[in-house]
Amino acid sequence: MARIIERTAKNGARSWLVKWRIGGGRGGKEDFETCYERQIAEDFATLVELSGENRPHGYPKGCHGIEDPHFDGTVDADMPTFEQYARHDYATRLGAAPTQRFVYLTEAERHVFPFFGRLPLDRVTRRVLREWAEWMLAKPSGRNEHQPTPPMSDEQAARRWARTNDVAVKKTGRVPPGVLRQWRDAGAPRPAPPTPATLSPATAAKVYRGAIKPVFKAATQQGENGEPPFLSSSPCDGFRLPTGPVTARAILYGPEVGIYLQAVHDIDPDTALFIVTEMATGLRWGEIAGLHVSGLDPIGCVIHVVQTYAYLLDETTGRRRWQLRLYPKGKKQRDVPICREPATLLARHANGKNAGQPLFHGCAGDYIDYANQRNNVLQPALERAHHRGLAKHITPHALRHTMITMLRDGGVAPGVMQLIAGHESYQTTAGYSGQHTPAQRALILNSVHPVIKAAAFLFSDPEHDGETSP
């Protein structure tokens, strides 16, 4: 029997969750739907019961209890809808890890099924894909309208202001009355609300490559037992996604490195060492967060990358959470050299810890919490760096880009760059050659200097050659 569970979010938004076991059996798999009105939830629960404890026809996943107005019950029953076939494909795609299959399904439920999931496979044409791409690029990228962003409290705004203006304040707990008074005397400033934005072409391309294109490729192939393919051709053949503006990678150059590192150090010295390690080795955030003391060789100045801390699917709960994965991305262990100075600092930081403990740990001694590091240290540090003259938006991954770009500017061989970065494909490493940095600009200008020198006579000004300075 379908149950209705009322929920209230932290910001006061209410919703009703309709849950039932498929087919009504005690051991059956659970299905659910979130509704934003009580009456809609009750009507939907009634339809579930009338359908034999199954999802009613015309109410796809994510419908919020509202019937799909485009539902067509007269289609060919032998031809599955895109959603039906896609769900089967994601579940049986053996080349993908469980977490990746979960990501495909989540992205499809959010960005694909609402648009053409109801259509049979043979009715999804290139025109449908083009209209889907246009719909994606017009979708807002923020929170949905049913869960608005909660307003910032006075204490949150005062703490943000204090960190930005180098006023001493704790990362957690109550904000001292003196700081609140200073904040009010300064006019009680609050951060500007984020500008509404739409999904980027990169997001549309990611969803298309992972959740759409492989589904149609599978539909054009024979089944495992020799069943004929559902489609003779794929609508993805000849389809091109709209291209967006190409933006340069956010990379730190010269004095910008010192400005950013000093801002991080002012808030938390341990995180500053974490950032220095990332910039000095090019390791991914999860590879440093999952680095154990045993992975550091300070004498040989080498870091052994054998595992990573990643946001993975917990198959017991069916939800994703941060956990240790016993191999790095690409499933290839590697050794990364590190300079003696940071190696000495890391050895000092590891003093007193067991070999199996994380080199960098959170307040409770366990692995670092990504959200806490970002919200409590990196974001305030970035705001402080902006006030000191840094004009770039720097993310943890941008620090990895910085290091790999330094390797390229230093003349490191592309194959060695690929090995250090841990890229599966050389094409990924080659992508760092798509823009010229100040160092590359200097090399370019020096390389063409012989041409400029040979053409010096063209730049002489006969009218002024004979003039002398007064």
- With H, G, I as helix, E, B as strand and everything else as coil, classify residue 397: helix
Cβ atoms of 139 and 199 within 8 Å: the answer is yes
Q: What angle do CA 452, 458, 462 make, to 5 degrees?
A: 135
- Please report which helix (H) or strand (E) contains residue 142, including its range: none
- For domain 86-152+191-247, the CATH class is mainly alpha
| Residue 352 CA to its chain's centroid (Å) | 34
Identify the CA nearest to 309 among candidates 274, 280, 276, 269: 274
Higher pLDDT, 339 or 367: 367
Higher pLDDT, 402 or 31: 31
Tokens 């089944």 — which residue?
223
Q: Does domain 248-470 have CATH number 1.10.443.10?
A: yes
Going by C-beta distance under 8 Å and a sequence separation of 6 or more, which residues neighbour residue 339?
280, 301
Cβ atoms of 359 and 292 within 8 Å: the answer is yes
pLDDT tens-digit map of 323-333: 999 988 878 88
- With H, G, I as helix, E, B as strand and everything else as coil, classify residue 61: coil
Going by C-beta distance under 8 Å and a sequence separation of 6 or more, which residues neighbour residue 354?
293
Query: Residue 55 carries which DSSP code?
Result: P
What are the Cα distances from residue 169, in Å, to 182, 213, 259, 265? 12, 51, 21, 15
Going by C-beta distance under 8 Å and a sequence separation of 6 or more, which residues neighbour residue 278?
285, 288, 396, 399, 400, 403
Q: Phi and psi (nearest 5°) for 392?
A: -110, 155
**Confidence category of residue 12, pLDDT binned at 50, 70, 90:** confident
Say whether pLDDT at 180 is over 50. yes
Residue span(s) of the chain under CATH 1.10.150 come to 86-152+191-247
Predicted pLDDT at 136 = 92
Predicted pLDDT at 168 = 83
Alpha-carbon distance of 84 to 437, in angstroms, equals 48
Query: Residue 23 carries which DSSP code?
Result: G
Predicted pLDDT at 141 = 76
Going by C-beta distance under 8 Å and a sequence separation of 6 or more, which residues neighbour residue 148?
11, 13
Tell me the mean pLDDT in the region 197-212: 91
Distance between first and last Cα of the chain = 100
Say whether pLDDT at 458 is over 80. no
Say whether pLDDT at 126 is over 90. yes
**Pairing relationship of beta strands 334-337 and 308-314 according to DSSP bridges:** unpaired
Cβ atoms of 360 and 368 within 8 Å: the answer is yes
Residue span(s) of the chain under CATH 1.10.443.10 come to 248-470
Identify the CA nearest to 439 among candidates 410, 396, 402, 400: 410
- With H, G, I as helix, E, B as strand and everything else as coil, classify residue 81: strand
Average pLDDT, the chain: 82
pLDDT tens-digit map of 279-297: 888 888 999 999 999 999 9
pTM reported for the whole predicted model = 0.64
Predicted pLDDT at 73 = 59
Higher pLDDT, 457 or 292: 292
Say whether pLDDT at 207 is over 70. yes
Identify the CA nearest to 412 among candidates 396, 433, 436, 398: 433
Alpha-carbon distance of 351 to 22, in angstroms, equals 54
Structure tokens at 221: 């192939």
Predicted pLDDT at 447 = 53
Alpha-carbon distance of 240 to 205, in angstroms, equals 10
Alpha-carbon distance of 285 to 58, in angstroms, equals 43
pLDDT > 90: what percent of the chain? 35
- Please report which helix (H) or strand (E) contains residue 416, including its range: helix 414-421
Tokens 């109801």 — which residue?
118
Tell me the mean pLDDT in the region 439-458: 54
Q: Per mean pLDDT, which range of 77-86, 322-331, 359-368, 452-461 is the poorest?
A: 452-461
Predicted pLDDT at 358 = 93
Structure tokens at 449: 């200097």
Predicted pLDDT at 289 = 93
Residue type, 6: E
Higher pLDDT, 304 or 279: 304
**Confidence category of residue 78, pLDDT binned at 50, 70, 90:** confident
Q: Per mean pLDDT, which range of 83-92, 335-344, 346-355, 427-436 is the poorest?
A: 427-436
Tell me the mean pLDDT in the region 22-26: 81
**Confidence category of residue 263, pLDDT binned at 50, 70, 90:** very high
